[in-house]
């Protein structure tokens, strides 16, 4: 039996799952010659892919840190902050690509939605950690 939509909660690993899905989609779209022509793909796609991989890696790193002392909390928080700021960077690079390569609006909308979802999940995670580890901050 399924859980009613209003009573569903997000999985603790949802941010990791969504970050990986974002990375997969981004790598796929950046490798598509119909979206990014081969002749000048290196100009922006390398930065886009590097940024999305940074998001995924920092989410994984932060999740892997078990907080038992204040230093652990600071390390975890730093990785979360890097991941969060990288989502803003990614959105900027995507906007540039949208303008330069005239990417289809529906494709761009979906891609942007993925980034915004990951961004919001990271924000919620940071807030949850702040409340959970308030004795360390």
**Residue-wise pLDDT tens digits, 93-106:** 999 999 999 999 99
Name, in order, each residue with C-beta under 8 angstroms of 133's C-beta and a sequence gap of 6 or more.
67, 73
User: Could you give all domains of the chain from N- to C-terminal order, each with its CATH number?
Assistant: 14-132 (1.20.1440.60)
C-alpha torsion sign, points 123, 22, 85, 106: negative
Distance separating alpha carbons of residues 68 and 75, to the nearest angstrom: 11
Q: Which of 64, 65, 58, 63 is nearest to 79 (CA)?
A: 58
Q: Which residue did the predictor score with more confidence, 37 or 118?
A: 118
**Residue-wise pLDDT tens digits, 71-101:** 999 999 999 999 999 999 999 999 999 999 9
Q: What is the pTM of this model?
A: 0.90
């Amino acid at each position: 039996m399924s859980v009613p939509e209003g009573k569903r909660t997000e999985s603790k690993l949802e941010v990791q799952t969504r970050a990986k899905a974002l990375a997969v989609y981004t790598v796929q779209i950046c490798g598509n010659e119909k979206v990014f022509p081969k002749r000048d793909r290196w100009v922006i796609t390398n930065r886009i892919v590097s940024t999305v991989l940074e998001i995924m890696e920092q989410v994984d790193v932060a999740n892997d840190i078990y907080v038992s002392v204040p230093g652990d909390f600071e390390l975890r928080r730093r990785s979360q902050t890097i991941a969060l700021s990288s989502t803003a960077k990614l959105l900027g690079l995507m906007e540039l690509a949208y303008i330069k390569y005239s990417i289809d609006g529906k494709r761009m909308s979906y891609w942007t939605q993925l980034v915004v979802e990951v961004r919001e999940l990271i924000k919620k995670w940071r807030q949850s950690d702040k409340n959970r580890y308030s004795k360390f901050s």
